[in-house]
Each structure stands twice: as structure tokens, then as C-alpha cells.
Amino acid sequence: MNPLLDLADLPRFADIKPEHVNPAVEQLIADARDVVARIENTEAITWDSVVEPLQDATERLGRAWGAVAHLNAVISSPELRDAHNAALPRVTQFFTELGLNRNLFERYKALAENAKLLGDEQRALLNHELRDFRLSGVELEGAARERFAAIQETLADVQSKFEDNILDATNAFSLDVPASELKGVPDDVIATARAKAKDAGLGDDQFRLTLQAPCYLPVMQYADSRALREQMYRAYATRASDEGDSKFDNSAHIEQIMALRAEEAKLLGFANFAEVSLVPKMADSPAQVLDFIRDITKRARPFAERDLAELKSFAASELGLTDLQSPDVMYASEKLRQQRYAFSDEEVRQYFPEDRVLAGLFRVVESIYSVRIVEGKASAWHKDVRFFEVLDSDNHRIGEFYFDLYARDSKRGGAWADSARDRRMKRGHLQTPVAYMTCNFPAPVGDKPALFTHDDVITLFHEFGHGLHLLLTEVATLGISGFGHVEWDAVELPSQFMENYCWEWDVLTHMTQHSETGAPLPRDLFDKMIAAKNFQAGLGTLRQMEFSLFDMRLHAETRTANRSGLLKLLEEVRAEVAVMAPPAYNRMPWSFAHIFGGGYAAGYYSYKWAEVLSADAFSRFEEEGVLSPVAGSAFRKEVLGRGGSRDAMTNFVAFRGRQPSVDALLRHNGMTAN
């Protein structure tokens, strides 16, 4: 039997081969299409005749495909990638068709109208599904339907051209300089620049600089030559704009993207694209988001002004820069940071051996949620993969998870948590959830344990927070258990919440042990780490608010997104937010890939939004004890366990007893008036 079709229990990872992928996907899609056809032809409109069979079929496809996508991400090979890429368009097309199936939509609608026959979870799922149907244009007829589809297609195309231009403009730039210009720049960056110059056939005293992050950032942070920093800054700040090479100018793309988004919003019956974007989000309206941004701006501004004043006076007295300009900011900041908080990641890393860190993480989770985590066995894709069970206080299994923590050549970069199987009550039988948690930490060398940087530890806690969202769910309806249908701007609440524990002294002392001396993390090093975290928090916050305000106003206001329109908006936003004016040639929007290329349109604020929620949720633990099982059980019951069964604001208020406040986040970032 094709192991991908064996969905009785955990995936049989060790047996899955690339040649299994396409036959399995074909069969599962064919089966699902049969089910859809049967539903379309049945008279009865009940949960059991419509939703349940469709969920069964799409879950089988989703789980098998999930295993394939997971393997392709963690242990890719040319054969597996080919098989994955061949199947991907079929899977995507199947789900797109499903979202546009008018017949199914009408049946879901009829079911929802008979809501009294349904339970709360069922009603919540139907509401989510109906909303998704509508946002995919299912209700449009005739020409409008065709136009909507054409807009989607063109948008995808122009958005990717927008990103291509940034990439091409970044890659097209190079600057050749002699060694004398590179004073202060780290040796490895210089060595790479020399190798590039050599490849280009340049003489021994030439060094080729680029705008790619591993070159651009260290040059801006360390190059003593102000003229060099200025040249690099200008090139970077004008990428893909009318101030740069006209071949890569994104002006027309931005105008087209904004026009298409506005048209899409109209077709769906909304006033502007910001409203469309906010439908699946926790924030209710553009006005609410603007208030949020302006509130934080107002409160962070005095700290940003203080940060800037400190930086200016440091630059003048220590660096001889009496008129600090934008191209000097990273340079002077790095010097100031070094002077104040001299410690290295390498020094900190010695205190975080893997087994201590995992024990510390599990101790936090076991204490606050009254669960036990025990190592188990399962078929896996690599010898380094570990498998764990989460048990409740009666030793009943709540869920299971895979840990795949070390970097490998065959693994995609970054860190993530994903569902292998969602919690679901299926014909009287409870299916428990299973999660993948994947990181890219350095593997142990020889018989020494793996040592994690503090950033690695934060990443681990973050992903574990996503994992707990899947594992500790109390919802039993597929689609809204775990993080299914959780509002887009609330999904990071459980993950960022967990990060707070990496900054708790009582937690860290238990979690650290020097690899040679065995000593826990010293208090003075911890204090420096906290201070370094909050270094220039005011300036950093305002920078995020500038991006957020630009994004939200652009999508919420009807205005022409041509060159002068964008510049005018940018000027207004900076007048309101920024404490330091960048040069007039700065063209930030022209390379703002989050909102013009990717999925953050009218959503950039969500980074801060989720930070506010997680800091404020954690502040209840600060009040009651960071390992308080009472606060923990309330957090699970009201927030973590709820999935998409209730809206995130109701969850939050139920847990915190009030609306979210930005106070805790500002305090955690060292921005409190005293």
C-alpha cells in the first residue's frame, strides 16, 4: 500500500518515497472530487451530509500533502522536489475550485440559516467558511466574476514583478573601492569583497561591495568612511525607484497594484482595500488600527527623542560627527551599543546547552499547563528527529510532537511549527493533535552538547508557543481547532507570549549551565542582555509605526498611488511619526515588499499588535507568578484552547478581564516614564 494513503495513525515517514507522491495525490484528489459531486447531488442539507464528508475527504488530502510538503522542507532531494513540484499545482487548483464552488456555498449558507440545529463550534466554522467563500468572489456573477478572477491573476503577476525588481536592482548594484575605503569593516566582509573583485578580473587593491545584506549591513555598521556609507545608503534607499536605474523602477507596478486592489474591494462591496484586508483579522476597522498606531507613536516618541539625542551627542563627542545624518545612524548606533553593552553571543551561548534548554522549556510548560511531556517513539525522516507525547494529569494523551532542531543541508532555513494532524471528534472518536516543530540550530559537534545562542532559545520558545496552540486546543471541530481560522493578527499571540519566558531571571537561572564550569548565567550578564534588548527601543518602535501608518493610510484612503501621491503620503507620515528626516531621495515605499509584494497589505501593524497582546497577556502572569498554574489554566481555557471557535478579542477580554493595553509592552521595552 502507498504509505501516504495510510492515514490510520502517524505518517509512516521512513517508508515514504518520492514515487509515492503523485499517485497518492491523484487518488486523494479524485476521491475528494467524487465526494464533492455526491454532495452537490444530494437533497439533504445537514452537517452530516455536507460538512462531515467534505471534511473527511479534504482532511485526508491535507494530511497526506502535509507530510509531503513537510518532507520537502526538512529533507529535500532532487527527486522529492520534482515530485512535490509536479503535484503542487493540482493540490492548489483543487482547493481554489473548492473555494469558488457556488453549489457548496449555497449548501453551507442554507445550513448556517438553520443555525439552531448546530452547536457553537459548528456555527463558528460555517461563519468562517462562508466569509472565505465570499472573499474569494463566489457570489459574483457574469462579467464581475470574470473580472475578479482576472484581477487576482494580474495582481499575482504584478506583485511578483515588484519583488523581482527589488531583487534585480539589489543584484545589479556593485561598488568597487580600494582597501583604504574599508577601514573598520570586519575581515570576513572584506575577504568576500576581495573574492568578488577578483572574480570580476579587478586588480589587487580593488574590493567589490554589494547591497546584499551580508555586505550592506556590516558596511553601514562598521565602515569608518562616511563617503562610502553615503554611497551605499543612497543606492540601498533608492532601489527599484525613480531615483535608481529606470530598468527596475517599481513606480508603475505600485500604481497598478493599488488600482487593482481598489477595484477588487469595490467588486466585493467594500469601500477600500484596507477593509477587505481586515475582514479575517482581529482589528475591526482601519480607524481602530490608525488609533492603535497613533497611540503607540505618541507614547514612544519621547523615548525615541531621547534615543536620538543620546546618539547625536555620542556621535559628536566620540566620533566627531557633529551633524548626524541617516547614513550615520547604524554606524554610530553600533559604536554606542558596543561601548555600553560589551558581550558577545558566543559568550552567552556557553550557558545554553541543549538539554538544559529543553528541560527549562518543558518545566515552564508543565508548570503552567499542568501537563507532562515524555519522550516517545515514532517513524521519522532523520535520525536526529525526536518525538514527544504531552499527557494530562491523569496520564491521558493530549497530543504529540516532533522536534527537528538541527540545521542540515537538505533543510529549508528558518524555524516553524506546523500541524501534522488536527484535533477532531470524528464519529465519537477523538483524534488527538500532532505537531511538527522545526528549527535550524547548530548540531552537537563530537561529544559536546549543542549550544544555543539566546536568540536560538527565543526562537525555540516562539515555535513551541505555536506548537502549544495546536496541541492544547480544546476545540473538536476540524478547521477551527489548533490555529485553524484564528485571526491573522492574533496568530502570533501564543508564540510571542512564550518568548517572554526567555527574559525571566527565575526561568533562566534554571535553564542555564556553562558548558565548562557548570555555572548558571551570571546576573550581570543577564542585565546587560536586557539592556541590549531595549537599546534604542524608542527609535525602533517609531520606525515600525512609520511603516504601519504608511501602509494603513495608503490602503484606507482613496488617493492616487503615483510618484507624487506616494511621496506626499510619505511626507505626511514622517511629519507625524519620524524624529529624524531621511534625505529627500529616500524611496522607502518602492522596495516595501511586505505590502506590495507579499501578504502584509494593510497588515503591517500586526507585528506590533501581536506584541501588545502577548506582552499584556504575560503581564497577568507577572502579577500572579510567571509559572502560575491558575493563570496558565485560564490562558489555556480562554485563549490557547479556543482556536477559531470564538473571536480573539473575546478570548483576550475573557482572560485579561479587560481590553488589551499597550502598557506592558512599553514597560518590557524599557519605555516607562520615571
Active site members: 463
The reply on whether position 459 binds Zn ion by CB under 5 A is no
Helix, strand, coil % in the chain, rounded to nearest 5: 60, 5, 30
Segment near Zn ion (CB under 5 A); pick from 112-120, 394-402, 445-453, 488-496? 488-496
Neighbours of 117 (CB within 10 A): 10
Neighbours of 143 (CB within 10 A): 8
Shortest distance, CB of residue 466 to Zn ion, whole angstroms?
Answer: 6
Site size toward Zn ion, by CB under 5 A:
1
Neighbours of 179 (CB within 10 A): 14
Segment near Zn ion (CB under 5 A); pick from 3-11, 239-247, 491-499, 663-671? 491-499
Shortest distance, CB of residue 417 to Zn ion, whole angstroms?
Answer: 8
Shortest distance, CB of residue 410 to Zn ion, whole angstroms?
Answer: 23
Q: Tell me how many helices (H) and strands (E) the chain has.
A: 26, 9
The grid coordinates listed for 113 are 440559516
Segment near Zn ion (CB under 5 A); pick from 61-69, 340-348, 428-436, 490-498? 490-498
The grid coordinates listed for 656 are 485579561
Shortest distance, CB of residue 156 to Zn ion, whole angstroms?
Answer: 24
Site for Zn ion in 602-641 (CB under 5 A): none
Q: How far apart are CA 10 and CA 522, in angstroms?
A: 43
Shortest distance, CB of residue 611 to Zn ion, whole angstroms?
Answer: 11
Q: Checking DSSP bridges between strand 434-441 and strand 416-421, what pairing results, if any? A: antiparallel
The reply on whether position 495 binds Zn ion by CB under 5 A is yes
Please choose, from the candidates 310, 306, 311, the residue with its C-alpha nearest in 3D space to the C-alpha of residue 325. Answer: 311
Q: Nearer to Zn ion by C-beta: 495 or 606? A: 495
Q: Nearer to Zn ion by C-beta: 270 or 416? A: 416
Long-range CB contact pairs, 27-30, < 8 A, 24+: 27/2, 28/57, 28/60, 28/61, 28/64, 28/65, 29/61, 29/90, 29/91, 29/94
Q: Nearer to Zn ion by C-beta: 314 or 402? A: 402
Q: How far apart are CA 195 and CA 190, in angstroms?
A: 9
Shortest distance, CB of residue 286 to Zn ion, whole angstroms?
Answer: 25
Residue whose beta carbon is closest to Zn ion:
495
Segment near Zn ion (CB under 5 A); pick from 221-229, 300-308, 320-328, 493-501? 493-501
Please choose, from the candidates 673, 570, 613, the residue with its C-alpha nearest in 3D space to the C-alpha of residue 465. Answer: 613
Q: Nearer to Zn ion by C-beta: 170 or 495? A: 495
Please choose, from the candidates 407, 469, 405, 412, the residue with its C-alpha nearest in 3D space to the C-alpha of residue 437. Answer: 405
Shortest distance, CB of residue 465 to Zn ion, whole angstroms?
Answer: 8
Q: Nearer to Zn ion by C-beta: 122 or 440? A: 440
Q: Nearer to Zn ion by C-beta: 122 or 495? A: 495
Q: Nearer to Zn ion by C-beta: 333 or 495? A: 495
Cα 496 to chain centroid, rounded: 11
Site for Zn ion in 460-479 (CB under 5 A): none
SS3 447: coil
**Residue-wise over 595-618: b if at least 16 C-beta within 10 A, else e?**
bbbeebbbbbbbbbbbbbbbbbbb
Shortest distance, CB of residue 439 to Zn ion, whole angstroms?
Answer: 12
Neighbours of 237 (CB within 10 A): 20
Site for Zn ion in 397-436 (CB under 5 A): none
Shortest distance, CB of residue 491 to Zn ion, whole angstroms?
Answer: 7
The grid coordinates listed for 235 are 543606492
Residues 6+ apart with CB under 8 A from 604: 544, 547, 548, 551, 552, 594, 595
Segment near Zn ion (CB under 5 A); pick from 81-89, 154-162, 438-446, 489-497? 489-497
**Residue-wise over 326-360: b if at least 16 C-beta within 10 A, else e?**
bbbbbbbbbbbeeeeeeeeeeebbbbbbbebbbeb
Q: How far apart are CA 3 and CA 331, in angstroms?
A: 55
The reply on whether position 438 binds Zn ion by CB under 5 A is no
Q: Nearer to Zn ion by C-beta: 167 or 415? A: 415
Please choose, from the candidates 161, 164, 137, 133, the residue with its C-alpha nearest in 3D space to the C-alpha of residue 150. Answer: 137
Q: Nearer to Zn ion by C-beta: 238 or 496? A: 496
Shortest distance, CB of residue 506 to Zn ion, whole angstroms?
Answer: 25
Q: Nearer to Zn ion by C-beta: 251 or 495? A: 495
Q: Which residues of this protein are in contact with Zn ion, per CB under 5 A?
A: 495
